[in-house]
Amino acid sequence: MTAPATPRHDIRGRRVLVIGTFDPTTPRARQWFRLLDRLGCDVEVMNVGSWGSDRASNTAASPVTMLGNVVLGLVAAARHLCTCRRPDLVVFLYPGHVDACVLGPIARLRRVPAVLDVFISLHDTVIVDRGLRSRRSPVAFATRALDTLACWSVRSVVVDTPEHADFFARFTHRDRSHFAVLWVGAEEGRFVTADDPGDDAPILWYLTYIPLHGFDTVARAAALLAGDGRMFRLVGDGQQRLAAEQLAGELGLTNVEFVSPVPESDLPEEIAHASICLGVFGTSDKAARVVPNKVFQCAASGRAIVTAATPAVINAFGDALVTVPVGDPIALAGAVRDLRGPMRLTMARRARAVFEERYSEVALADALAEILEAAMSNRR
């Protein structure tokens, strides 16, 4: 089955107000604006306030200070939502938890359906996955409350995988029918296929060194491949990079190169020079529910991908990716060692074909149109 040439759901000309403290620089926000433009919506944008560059760490470090940075912006947003010409739909983009809690009731009073692209659970990210605060801390209580209240303050909640939709429905005790899936995808104009660099090109992994990525598994797999002749090129920075470098030193890794973060605009070039790209290998529940940006971006770029065999990944790509058991460095080393020659090129083509079929912007635009049309059709 191929993606439709044009969206089946026509919402051209519908007035959509995207409002709040969202970060317009994230790939997710840019995806929404590209898809809304493709769908022909009349989009008004009011972006206020700021959560900082590392929202999860800021939430744990000083939630009061962080909230204070956006209060004035939310006041302005509330005033605008109360007085503007009534739109057909209000959208809150990530990180839009507080936006939904504050502005969602105003939209309801004006009888305008609201949609929240929740994207991640604050509680799951800050408390469970990153472990930045204890599960009994005030921050744990606040993040759980924000997750729940945000999802109950809007007509529809958008997430990135069906597994995340199931999680949010259980976590917030709201019916699963209120949660819809918009896959992450990739920016097609930027992530395009490139000439194959050959078997001996580096193995690329770009990451932010959070537990979800599973550095320990990759490091121990690299140790098993010390005599393989290929380099693991690790691009990025983040929470656990120092610990990662220490582990690499303890293991005596000479085939791992730590590279500083590069601008997102340079990622296509990094992918083009790689023979294999790596996904995520964390053992947390969250890792089992996500398909990260990098997997879609590398698939769009026509590269063979090795990642953990999680329910979300299997659901999204089937056998188009090389998958290994979660937390198993021996299996990961074996998969990388075997992924050479025709097999590697075959897997690269499979990944690209699945991306074109399921996750092209035409296909995702149709999915988004269906989500928004459903939200508006329930308008009283």
Residue 56 — very low, low, confident or very high, per pLDDT cuts 50/70/90?
very low
Q: Which two tokens stand for residue 350?
A: 């499979």
Whether residue 145 sits in one domain with residue 253: no
Whether residue 163 sits in one domain with residue 100: yes
pLDDT at 65 (0 to 100)? 62
Whether residue 338 sits in one domain with residue 224: yes
Q: Is residue 1 part of a domain?
A: no
How many domains would you assign to the chain? 2
User: Residue 60: is its pLDDT beyond 50?
Assistant: no
User: Residue 2: is its pLDDT beyond 70?
Assistant: no
Q: What is the pTM of this model?
A: 0.89
Whether residue 60 sits in one domain with residue 118: yes
| CA atoms of 307 and 312, how far apart (whole Å) | 11
Sequence-ordered alpha helix ranges (H) in 20-160 = 27-38, 55-61, 63-83, 97-109, 122-123, 138-152
Whether residue 154 sits in one domain with residue 295: no
Q: Is residue 154 part of a domain?
A: yes
Q: Is residue 102 part of a domain?
A: yes
pLDDT at 10 (0 to 100)? 84
Residue 239 — very low, low, confident or very high, per pLDDT cuts 50/70/90?
confident
Looking up residue 47, the CATH number of its domain turns out to be 3.40.50.2000
Q: Is residue 2 part of a domain?
A: no
Whether residue 259 sits in one domain with residue 128: no
Q: Is residue 10 part of a domain?
A: no
Whether residue 364 sits in one domain with residue 266: no
Work out the average pLDDT over 110-132: 88
Q: Is residue 158 part of a domain?
A: yes
Contact 84, 18 (CB under 8 A): no
Domain span at 249: 203-358
How far, rounded to the nearest angstrom, does the alpha carbon of residue 335 sit from its chain's CA centroid? 25
Whether residue 236 sits in one domain with residue 373: no
